[in-house]
Amino acid sequence: MTDSALYENDKDHALHRGAIHELSRESGLPEPVIAEIYEQNLSRLKKTARVKDYLLVLTRRMVMQSLRYPH
């Protein structure tokens, strides 16, 4: 999924980029690494989400969980 399809608008993109930046800072991993994991999870969630208000929180939680328990 491309950036244009992944994010609803510029504000949505900025909010998610902020979450990526915070996750990068907290984990010590580079932003491109976090962005890849984050966007994969966001894409997966968006496909079935009925309420999009919580996508940022859910995606952030999924990324944090995958960093704790890598497969």
Q: Is there a contact between 36 and 21 (Cβ–Cβ < 8 Å)?
A: no
Confidence band for 3, pLDDT divided at 50, 70 and 90: low
Cβ neighbors of 45 (< 8 A, separation 6 or more) are: 55, 58, 59, 62
**Per-residue confidence (pLDDT) for residue 69, from 0 to 100:** 80
**Per-residue confidence (pLDDT) for residue 1, from 0 to 100:** 52
Average pLDDT, the chain: 92
This prediction's pTM:
0.88
Q: Read off the tokens for 31.
A: 């932003």
Mind listing the pLDDT tens digit for each residue in 22-71? Answer: 999 999 999 999 999 999 999 999 999 999 999 999 999 999 999 988 76
H-only helix segments in the chain = 3-6, 10-27, 31-48, 55-68
